[in-house]
Every structure is written in structure tokens, then in C-alpha cells.
């Protein structure tokens, strides 16, 4: 279905939990999220019914996210239920990778087609400091397990943060030399805990080709601008929501773990979906798509959403 600005909306990001085993400093507070009651979060059946209704409204691709989707009990049932939907072309999942060593095989068997794995640093000490508790070795083991399980086109997402990991750009690029991965640098968006961070933390993605002019541009893919190191097996993606906003081409809607549809990550507007089924649910999703805002205002002010990223789903 098209929104009021003529954009084809065919991607759904479905947050299956707001909980996470990590506490990335830009995403969550130290104490995590106030524990919600079990019944405040979408059930497995509700997740699948929302997926079904979204597909009926024209959605072709669903990405499971969170919080950390792999801490969600029932994640495999959700994946299986969604994968069985006729009309769904692709089921993807974004994860911090800490549980992938054990979960990659089961996720593949449950029907997940593609994985994005978030990894902001390749240095164990920094990883611990940024996530406040994670072990880099777990993520690296998870990436290997994902390859063994048959996941192709693995994407590694690194949020580019000035003074934290911009001295590792070359190390990230080097990962693409021998492996068919796409390393994607993402601009830090001012929201939640990082909304008030110093300006120099918010580095434009153009820093990457400026520092590594040997990167060769490739035709773009979705919201990412693509490059390749000469002769490399993998590619490099730049996702620049601030410096090169891609709102004009945005095809996404999002559903939060407590069942509210958002037309834009950064807007306050939400359409409650809980308690709805069948045609009533589809009508609510169509309303949400129609009301998708034209653009965000991140270059003028921090995100308008009162929610943190882990609640909405990145």
C-alpha cells in the first residue's frame, strides 16, 4: 500500500521485546527497562496475527527486532508463524549476536532468511565498556555460527560514534576483504540516552569514504549507500539518517513490543493494535500507513519520540 506521499510501504519492523541482555550506552540506561507485565507485551499469536494483517496490507518483508529478539521466549515460534504466511517474501532479524552461537541453527530452521548483527567495536575492552556487560568473543562466535548455519549476505551494523570507534573504521573495512559480509556504518541518532551527547559524537558517515578514498561506489541498495574496497569479497554500506536523510524513500512501518504501530521511528504518533484482529486490525494498519509522517526533524532537534530505541526496535 502507498502512503499519502506516494511511498510504497512494504517493510514491517516488529519488536518482539523491549528487554535486552546488553545495555549499550546510546540505547538503554544502566538499569534496563522497568519490567513490564507479561501480558503487556505482544503474545506469539498476536505477533503472527499482526504479521498476517500487515502482509494483507502489502508488507513483503518483516524484520524481527527489539530490544534483543533472542532473549524473547517464543522467538522461534514467532519466526515459524511468520515464515508460514503466504505472501511474505523475506523474514529478517536484527540481533546483537550474543546468543547466536546457540541460536543461529534453530533460527535458520525456523525460517529466518537473513541476519543483521550489531557490532560497534572489534576491541573486547571497548565492547564491554559500550555494552556495559557484553563479551566480544560471544558475538564473534555467533557470527561464525551464523555462517555455518547457512546464513548468506550477513550484515554487520556498526553505529559510528566520534571518539569511540572512528579509529576502527579501517579494521571494520578489513573484515570485508575476504568475507562476503556487508559492514554497515550507521549514523548515531539523537534519541533516548544519547540525545544530549556532545556534538562530536555524531559523525557523518561521509567520514568513511573521506578517510578511505580507495572505496569504490556501487549502485545503492535500499537506504544504504554502497561501496567496495578494490577486490574485496564484501561491501561497505553507509546509513545516514541525518546527513543524507532517506525519508523520501522510506518503506517502513514499525510495531512496538507493546503493540503500537509507528509510521516513523521519530514521531510521537502511534496507532494501538492490541485487541484487534482480522479486518479491524488490517484497517488500523492501513490507517497507520496513511498517517506516515513525511520526514523526521533530527537535523533541527532530537527525536520527537518519547521512547528509547530498545522499546521501538531499531
The only residue of 107, 188, 208, 285 in contact with ligand SAM, by rule CB under 6 A? 188
We find the least distance from the C-beta atom of residue 157 to ligand SAM, in angstroms, to be 4
Query: What's the angle, vertex CA 135, arms to CA 131 and CA 138, rounded to 5?
Result: 125
Binding of ligand SAM at residue 66 (CB under 6 A)?
yes
Q: Is 95 in the site for ligand SAM (CB under 6 A)?
A: yes
The length of the chain, given as a count of residues = 314
Applying CB under 6 A, the span of 42-50, 62-70, 194-202, 233-241 interacting with ligand SF4 comes to: 62-70
Query: By CB under 6 A, is residue 9 in contact with ligand SAM?
Result: no
Per CB under 6 A, does 226 bind ligand SF4?
Answer: no
Q: Using the rule CB under 6 A, which residue among 11, 46, 67, 145 binds ligand SF4?
A: 67
CA angle 152, 156, 159 (to 5 degrees): 160
**Least Å distance between CB 57 and ligand SF4?**
27
Which string of DSSP letters, residue by residue, matches 236-286? EEEE-TTTT--GGG--EEEE-TTSEEESSTT-S--EE-TT--HHHHHHHHH
* Window 113-152: residues binding ligand SF4 (CB under 6 A): 118
* CA-closest candidate to residue 34, choices 266, 313, 307: 307
Query: Does 10 sit near ligand SF4 (CB under 6 A)?
Result: no
Shortest distance, CB of residue 26 to ligand SF4, whole angstroms? 8
Contact with ligand SF4 (CB under 6 A): which of 57, 64, 66, 250? 66
Q: Is 262 in the site for ligand SF4 (CB under 6 A)?
A: no
Count other C-beta atoms under 10 Å from residue 85's C-beta: 16
Strand partners for 237: 184, 226
Which residue has cell 533460527? 107
259 binds ligand SAM (CB under 6 A): no
On whether the CB atoms of residues 255 and 12 are closer than 8 A, the answer is yes
What residue 235 binds from ligand SAM, ligand SF4, none (CB within 5 to 8 A, per partner kind)?
Answer: none
Which of ligand SAM, ligand SF4, none lies near 186, with the C-beta cut-off 5 to 8 A by kind?
ligand SAM
- When asked if residue 27 is in the footprint of ligand SAM (CB under 6 A), the reply is yes
What is the bridge-based pairing of β-strands 224-228 and 235-239? antiparallel
Does residue 189 bind ligand SAM (CB under 6 A)? yes
Count CB-CB contacts under 10 A for residue 202.
18
Residue 309 lies near ligand SAM (rule: CB under 6 A): yes
Task: Say if CB 197 and CB 162 are below 8 A apart.
Answer: no
Amino acid at each position: 500500500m502507498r502512503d499519502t506521499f506516494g511511498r510504497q510501504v512494504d517493510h514491517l519492523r516488529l519488536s518482539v521485546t523491549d528487554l535486552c541482555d546488553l545495555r549499550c550506552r546510546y540505547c538503554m540506561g544502566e538499569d534496563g527497562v522497568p519490567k513490564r507485565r507479561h501480558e503487556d507485551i505482544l503474545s506469539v499469536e498476536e505477533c503472527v496475527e499482526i504479521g498476517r494483517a500487515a502482509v494483507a496490507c502489502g508488507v513483503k518483508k518483516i524484520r524481527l527486532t527489539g530490544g534483543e529478539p533472542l532473549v524473547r521466549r517464543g522467538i522461534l515460534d514467532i519466526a515459524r508463524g511468520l515464515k508460514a504466511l503466504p505472501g511474505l517474501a523475506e523474514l529478517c532479524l536484527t540481533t546483537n549476536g550474543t546468543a547466536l552461537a546457540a541460536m543461529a541453527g534453530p533460527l535458520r530452521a525456523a525460517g529466518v532468511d537473513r541476519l543483521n548483527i550489531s557490532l560497534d567495536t572489534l576491541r573486547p575492552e571497548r565492547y564491554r565498556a559500550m555494552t556495559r556487560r557484553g563479551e566480544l568473543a560471544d558475538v564473534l562466535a555467533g557470527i561464525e555460527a551464523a555462517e555455518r548455519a547457512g546464513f548468506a549476505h550477513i550484515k554487520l551494523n556498526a553505529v559510528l560514534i566520534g571518539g569511540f570507534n572512528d579509529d576502527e573504521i579501517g579494521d571494520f573495512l578489513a573484515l570485508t576483504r575476504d568475507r562476503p559480509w556487508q559492514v554497515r556504518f550507521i549514523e548515531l541518532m539523537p534519541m533516548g540516552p544519547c540525545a544530549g551527547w556532545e556534538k562530536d559524537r555524531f559523525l557523518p558517515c561521509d567520514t568513511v569514504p573521506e578517510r578511505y578514498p580507495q572505496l569504490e561506489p556501487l549502485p545503492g541498495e535500499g537506504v544504504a549507500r554502497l561501496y567496495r574496497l578494490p577486490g574485496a569479497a564484501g561491501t561497505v554500506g553507509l546509513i545516514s539518517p541525518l546527513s543524507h536523510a532517506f525519508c523520501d524513500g522510506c518503506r517502513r512501518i514499525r510495531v512496538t513490543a507493546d503493540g503500537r504501530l509507528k509510521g516513523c521511528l521519530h514521531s510521537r504518533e502511534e496507532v494501538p493494535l492490541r485487541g484487534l484482529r482480522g479486518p479491524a486490525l488490517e484497517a488500523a494498519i492501513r490507517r497507520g500507513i496513511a498517517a506516515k509522517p513525511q520526514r523526521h526533524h533530527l537535523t533541527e532537534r532530537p527525536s520527537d519520540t518519547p521512547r528509547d530505541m530498545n522499546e521501538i526496535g531499531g
